[in-house]
């Protein structure tokens, strides 16, 4: 059976192409990725040990994991406004909170890695594209009390859960902008001089990923870090990721199966690392 993955229209065919792509990408990742034992750069070794591999839990992380667990056990209905595939208008559907949470939230390990990064680098201004239920937002805020977070979410009902969660834990340093990121990001960023950390986890399309990168790049400082989520999600996202890696202003990149970390610091030599973690 021949499946043309470039011109297919049906969503079943698209899903099958995506599964095939992901399987192939995973084997490619296993082949090319290295562990910390092959890391000769002290910066990379330190990053792997303190951000990617540090599996210590603490009270703050436990609070986040408990909130996530509560969402997984919440079987009430929620109306979702979904902009996730580059649609100009939201596609609306009703589902259970538990199902939506399972679909959108990161694993505990991924949340911990973001927590570790924020705890280590203490970024003052954080931008998050894709708040969802606010679990990663909360983890970042608890990791560094000095950080201020500007987070964007298209679905008002999901954002409401996030806001209630921040209130419950007395977290005040988070502002959530509700709206289609493609329409509100430019304006919202014009109020910001620079950012220290951005996490891109919203609209997983090739063009949107690049658009967000260029908007953020414009506001970078030498210490800015951008995390792209789900870089192996589809052929198109990975194409965007490869172009970001090749950008002339990007110095170091670190790629795991889920995340792509981008650094602009000119003290770091231009290198791309693929790490099995």
Ligand X SMILES: C[S@@+](CC[C@H](N)C(=O)[O-])C[C@H]1O[C@@H](n2cnc3c(N)ncnc32)[C@H](O)[C@@H]1O
Q: Does 83 bind ligand X (CB under 6 A)?
A: yes
> Which segment (4-12, 20-28, 59-67, 149-157) binds ligand X by CB under 6 A?
149-157
Residue nearest to ligand X (CB): 154
Among 130, 195, 234, 241, binds ligand X (CB under 6 A): 130
Among 48, 61, 64, 105, binds ligand X (CB under 6 A): 105
Residue 113 CA to residue 117 CA, distance in Å, equals 6
In the complex, minimum distance from the CB of residue 202 to ligand X, in angstroms, rounded to a whole number: 4
> Where are the strands (E) in the chain, listed by range?
77-82, 91-96, 125-129, 148-153, 174-178, 197-200, 225-228, 252-255, 260-263, 271-274
Helix, strand, coil % over all residues of the chain, rounded to 5: 45, 20, 35
Among 140, 176, 181, 198, binds ligand X (CB under 6 A): 181
**Contact predicate 195/264, CB 8 Å:** no
Task: State the chain's maximal CA–CA distance in angstroms.
Answer: 56
Among 33, 104, 188, 236, binds ligand X (CB under 6 A): 104
The conformation of residue 210, written as its DSSP 8-state character, comes to: H
Among 44, 71, 126, 135, binds ligand X (CB under 6 A): 135
User: CB-wise, 98 or 180, nearer to ligand X?
Assistant: 180
Among 202, 216, 225, 240, binds ligand X (CB under 6 A): 202
- Distance from chain centroid for Cα 266: 24
Among 67, 196, 201, 255, binds ligand X (CB under 6 A): 201
Range 125-155 burial, b when 16+ CB lie within 10 A, else e: bbbbbbbbbbbbbbbbbbbbeebebbbbbbb
Among 84, 144, 225, 244, binds ligand X (CB under 6 A): 84
| Rounded alpha-carbon distances, angstroms, from residue 187 to 154, 157, 177, 184, 190 | 15, 23, 11, 6, 5
User: CB-wise, 39 or 174, nearer to ligand X?
Assistant: 174
Q: Does 155 bind ligand X (CB under 6 A)?
A: yes
Q: Does 232 bind ligand X (CB under 6 A)?
A: no
CA dihedral 192, 193, 198, 200 (to 10 degrees): 60
C-alpha dihedral sign at 111, 114, 120, 122: negative
User: CB-wise, 39 or 149, nearer to ligand X?
Assistant: 149
The conformation of residue 192, written as its DSSP 8-state character, comes to: -
Among 78, 106, 118, 254, binds ligand X (CB under 6 A): 106
**Look-up of token digits 């095939």:** 20
User: CB-wise, 154 or 254, nearer to ligand X?
Assistant: 154
> Which segment (3-11, 71-79, 196-204, 267-275) binds ligand X by CB under 6 A?
196-204
Q: Give the pair of three-digit tokens for residue 166.
A: 């921040």
User: CB-wise, 129 or 275, nearer to ligand X?
Assistant: 129
The binding site for ligand X (CB under 6 A) comprises 83-84, 104-106, 130, 132, 135-136, 152-155, 158, 180-182, 201-203
């Amino acid at each position: 059976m021949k499946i043309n993955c470039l011109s297919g229209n049906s969503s079943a065919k698209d899903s099958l192409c995506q599964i095939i792509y992901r399987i192939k990408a995973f084997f490619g990742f296993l082949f090319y990725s290295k562990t910390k034992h092959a890391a000769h750069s002290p910066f990379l070794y330190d990053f792997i040990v303190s951000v990617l591999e540090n599996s210590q839990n603490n009270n703050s992380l436990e609070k986040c994991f408990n909130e996530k667990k509560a969402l997984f056990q919440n079987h009430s209905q929620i109306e979702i406004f979904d902009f996730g595939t580059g649609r100009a208008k939201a596609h609306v559907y009703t589902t259970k909170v538990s199902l939506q949470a399972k679909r959108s939230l990161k694993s505990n390990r991924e949340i911990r890695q973001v927590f570790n990064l924020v705890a280590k680098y203490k970024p003052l201004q954080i931008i998050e594209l894709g708040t969802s239920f606010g679990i990663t937002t909360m983890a970042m805020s608890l990791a560094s009390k000095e950080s201020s977070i500007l987070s964007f979410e298209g679905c008002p009902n999901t954002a409401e859960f996030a806001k209630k969660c921040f209130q419950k834990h007395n977290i005040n340093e988070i502002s959530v902008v509700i709206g289609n990121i493609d329409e509100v990001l430019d304006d919202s960023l014009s109020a910001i001089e620079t950012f220290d950390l951005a996490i891109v986890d919203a609209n997983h399309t090739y063009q949107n990923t690049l658009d967000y990168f260029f908007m953020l790049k414009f506001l970078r400082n030498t210490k800015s870090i951008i995390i792209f989520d789900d870089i192996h999600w589809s052929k198109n996202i990975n194409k965007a990721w490869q172009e970001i890696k090749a950008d002339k202003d990007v110095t170091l990149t670190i790629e795991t199966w889920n995340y792509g970390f981008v650094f602009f610091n000119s003290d770091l030599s231009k290198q791309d690392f693929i790490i099995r973690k």
